[in-house]
């Protein structure tokens, strides 16, 4: 399967945002390719009675060509950068292992002074890393309609999923991964339906999951969303074929 990039990020032209000290250049990203996944699934299912089933499934997914941003780039001599800035840029490595990227031509600021501006270059790209997901799924759905009245209205559903996520990029393992995917999660539902009356109670739980960094206020590194559960309940009574009351 494939997933295409969001059309809003596939900009066909170069964009410049600047002030007196910094120029931010966003290079075109129209050539970003879809990311693709190879999926392998194996399951065993047993339908023990009408409306009931028990199944166990194994799956493996290999995902590649993830969308990302090129990091730490300062493309000297790039004609698109030169065209939009009006001059070339220079990369200078620093003693701490980083670098500075500056505009060659001095910039006339609002105070009428010529200054050397820092340049930040952004570019959307396909990540070379691959992500592999291995997991197991267990599902049980059981109606208890074989019990005598009124217990024959009871039933339940249980789903459990375990996912192991691994990236071939150990350096950027927290970047090249699927976000909001918990290693473990389960849903437990119990219900009763008889004589027009219906009651359903559901509990959903998911383990810790990683959230993508979105802005400097929340931090530039991924964050962990703690494990959480949610309990929901709904009840209804069918008065006749035209009216039903919910609670």
Residue 218 has pLDDT above 70, yes or no: no
Per the CB < 8 A criterion, the answer to whether 93 and 101 are in contact is: no
More confident residue, 49 or 184: 184
Q: Span 114-133, mean pLDDT?
A: 88
- φ, ψ dihedrals at 231, nearest 5°: -110, 125
Question: For the chain, how many residues are written?
Answer: 247
**226-247 pLDDT, tens digit each:** 999 999 999 999 988 888 898 8
**158-180 pLDDT, tens digit each:** 999 999 988 765 545 445 677 88
**26-84 pLDDT, tens digit each:** 999 888 888 888 999 999 999 998 889 999 999 999 988 877 778 778 999 999 999 99
Q: 0.75 cut: is pTM over it?
A: no
How would you classify the pairing of strands 22-26 and 118-122? parallel
């Amino acid at each position: 399967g494939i997933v295409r990039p969001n059309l809003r990020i596939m900009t066909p032209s170069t964009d410049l945002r600047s002030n007196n000290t910094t120029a931010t250049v966003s290079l075109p990203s129209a050539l970003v390719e879809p990311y693709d996944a190879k999926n392998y699934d194996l399951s065993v299912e047993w339908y023990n009675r009408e409306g009931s089933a028990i199944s166990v499934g194994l799956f493996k997914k290999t995902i590649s060509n993830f969308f990302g941003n090129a990091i730490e780039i300062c493309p000297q001599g790039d004609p698109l950068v030169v065209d939009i800035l009006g001059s070339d840029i220079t990369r200078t490595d620093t003693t701490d292992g980083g670098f500075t990227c500056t505009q060659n031509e001095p910039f006339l600021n609002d105070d009428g002074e010529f200054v050397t501006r820092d340049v930040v270059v952004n570019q959307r790209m396909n990540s070379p890393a691959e992500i592999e997901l291995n997991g197991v799924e267990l599902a049980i759905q059981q109606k208890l309609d074989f019990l005598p009245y009124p217990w024959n209205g009871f039933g339940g559903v249980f789903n459990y999923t375990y996912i192991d996520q691994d990236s071939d990029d150990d350096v950027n393992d927290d970047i090249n991964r699927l976000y909001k995917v918990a290693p473990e999660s389960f849903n437990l539902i119990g219900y009763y339906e008889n004589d027009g009356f219906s009651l359903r109670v559901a509990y959903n739980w998911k383990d810790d999951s990683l959230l993508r960094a979105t802005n400097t206020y929340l931090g530039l590194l991924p964050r962990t969303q703690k494990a959480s559960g949610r309990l929901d309940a709904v009840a209804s009574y069918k008065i006749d074929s035209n009216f039903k009351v919910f609670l």
